[in-house]
Chains A and B, each alone.
Chain A
């Protein structure tokens, strides 16, 4: 996983609450079996005309398509961002599009988890702070923020700073780009001991074993 330490980038305001993962990446793009290439379908139904089968034509009015936000890498949005489906494709699409940070006053649990696994930082600030960033991103041309995970701080270099919290373990994994499967496998002895005490029940062994086609 790509580590996250500090990032400075242009902020794009998505002034909507409850942005769900069906909007972030509509279902017609979930059939790919790779992790890559989802960026071009980000917010598809809001950005483009048609269902994705024909050549893409932008609706022209979506905020991501405004030239001033072309280089944006920080998304600021309303509360409950990423609610709905567990599709990690939503995070892959945001990251593939070039986003490193999403700022909101709250995130859906599964989305926040998925983000962690892909080096996309979710920064939770209070509603007033989010509204302030949203306003400045709309008013100020090329409005940038520096997001510093080591110091848990957001700074716009114009006098606005805010600190955010994140549990220590998640912060540690993100800062170091750790493969958490590797970390879990360090507990092999404990896992094996647990499995010895809790064997697969007989019915599952007998019947499902017979159903598998190795």
Chain B
């Protein structure tokens, strides 16, 4: 904290500002219009991810407006001296994937980005949250942001996730319970043995989805798992600096006995693989369940929302989830495109074939993940099974590039939002884990991964 002026919001210093092509051009224009400089180019890191094609990098960008936005970022980064992991860079990737992967994201930082899924970086015990373009400009100009103190929510997860149940399912289970506005106004801290037992990548998936419960940020206290992940990464501290950093990071955990404004208890062992049935991430049910009956909603507004959602999704109440056939499968996004996600999906796909009625796509989160997967031969497994193997980017998570659903197409997606039209106008999105998505691609419909015969 830099200052806490009387009668104003506290002024937070921002350690890391991540920038991408879609929410930054107007902010750089603002700097120019007001003759302001970029205060800290080396605490600012840019990449292109949202609207770039996932076809081979040598091909031209066919969308002229997307090309113009990418050019604007290139020009702005040159003019203001911002490090840019560009289209042709070996480090390019989804902004929330490359930050952690390169050791740019570390514990105890304040991190912002003009993207709501900035909450991902909370997995390191950082305060990381999404901001709008005016705030992007504010941070570019001042490296600070005035912030009101949020309320605190503890989500305490006991027990152990069963085989086939992932941190994506944990996130969906939590949102299904507290609702998409359940954590609005709060920052979530995830605690408990089930959270401690998660890998860093699984923790990122969990924190990533905090915004889908309304929380701007969700975080997990850093521990040995965190330090082991960050150690040796390209931009992480080295030698004595590393030792000193770890010693400091160990002090960051919440005090024993601290109180929270709200506490939610979750038993991990009670969770199943989840599938969303509606048009927000809170409309979710276990894979062995059914699309809910409208009379099960107590509130009139929720019942009406469910009715509208089912009409949009083309589903009848009471339909078993496993009876829902899919046309498309998307494995990717800042939620589920990391190497562990790809390994999990490949394990399901190995020796199998994508259903002839399904088009399935795997989009690694970054160029580094793509290389790692190819080294392990995962791409072979996917290609042999009939999946497309693409270049890195946000892709079909938000359909700003050519990877979109056609009207009425139904998609099993490992992304984070099933809003109307999110993946393409009229497209119907069901959110699932990477294993569940791969299984749906092969079966042609949703299927319980806990019953899967692995080859």
Q: A residues within 8 Å of B by Cβ?
A: 16-18, 20, 22-23, 26-28, 30-35, 45, 51, 78-80, 83-89, 91, 106-110, 113-114, 117-118, 167-169, 172, 180-181, 183-185, 187, 190-191, 194-195, 198, 200-205, 207-209, 211-214
Contact = CB atoms under 8 A, between A and B. Distances in A.
Nearest to B181: A80
Interface in B294-318: 301-302, 305, 308
A33 B68 contact: yes
Given A17-B302, A185-B141, A31 B400 contact: yes
Contacts of B425: 26, 45, 51
B23 interface: yes
Contacts, number: 205
Given A185-B141, A212-B77, 8 more contacts: A20-B417, A22-B419, A85-B115, A88-B26, A88-B134, A117-B134, A167-B9, A207-B234
B116 A84 contact: yes
Q: Looking at A26, A31, A34, A203, which has the most chain B CB atoms within 10 Å of its CB?
A: A31
B51 A34 contact: no
Contacts of B305: 16-18
Contacts of A26: 421, 425
A22 B132 contact: no
A27 B398 contact: yes
B82 interface: yes
Contacts of B116: 84-86, 110
B214 A108 contact: yes
B7 interface: yes
Interface residues of B, number: 81
Contact of A184 (B114, B134, B138): B138
24 contacts: A17-B302, A18-B280, A30-B400, A31-B66, A33-B69, A35-B133, A80-B184, A80-B214, A85-B398, A110-B130, A110-B132, A117-B132, A117-B134, A181-B36, A181-B137, A184-B144, A190-B3, A194-B13, A198-B13, A201-B235, A201-B241, A203-B103, A208-B45, A211-B83
Given A34-B26, A169-B7, A45 B41 contact: no
Nearest to B1: A194
Contacts of A23: 419-421
B65 interface: yes
A20 B312 CA distance: 15
B29 to A, nearest CB: 8
B72 interface: yes
Nearest to B131: A86
B414 interface: no
